[in-house]
Amino acid sequence: MFNNKKKESPASTKKSIIPSNSSHALNTLVQGTTVEGTIKSENDIRVDGRIKGSLHCKAKVIIGPSGHIEGEVRCVNAVIEGHFDGNLQVSELLNVRETAKISGDVRTNKLIVQSGATFNVSCIMGATASNGKLDSTKAAKSVVKQAEKIGA
């Protein structure tokens, strides 16, 4: 009858659905927006507009179907559906979708290119390629040395 224990209401036992400190955020540059200069981002960024300059992202870069980047991009992962022209450095996975049109220099650890994509690039792949410390001359010499070892 006289119970000193407090009964918790159902509302107080439920956990919040929306975390108060979300660590995953998405920046968006919408269609019709143009940015010239340098952009730095700690979180994912989606580009459906136009960038002329540099984009340095410590997460994923998504270039949507209407997106266009001309310049330099450095990121961890990238998904490209739109246009890219310049130097692209992806430390993990580059996913080139069928609607993409890419030209320039690419360095990535892993690469997926879907059928239908335009991929006119000079590309260096592998873990050493994506860290930015391997130049194309060293890469060519490395390939020649490997071929000599196997007697090709």
pLDDT tens-place string over residues 120-142? 999 999 877 655 544 445 555 55
Least confident of 9-23, 56-70, 118-132: 9-23
For residue 115, the surrounding DSSP H or E stretch is: none
Q: Where are the domains of the chain?
A: 24-150
Q: Which residue has the higher pLDDT, 71 or 22?
A: 71
> Which pTM value belongs to this model?
0.71
**Start-to-end C-alpha separation, the chain:** 90
Largest interatomic CA distance in the chain: 91
- Compute the mean pLDDT over every residue in the chain, rounded to the nearest whole number: 82
| 55, 36 contact by CB (below 8 A) | no
| 70, 87 contact by CB (below 8 A) | no
Least confident of 50-64, 71-85, 99-113, 122-136: 122-136
Q: Which two tokens stand for residue 11?
A: 């509302």
Cα 119 off chain centre by? 16
Residue 18 has pLDDT above 90, yes or no: no
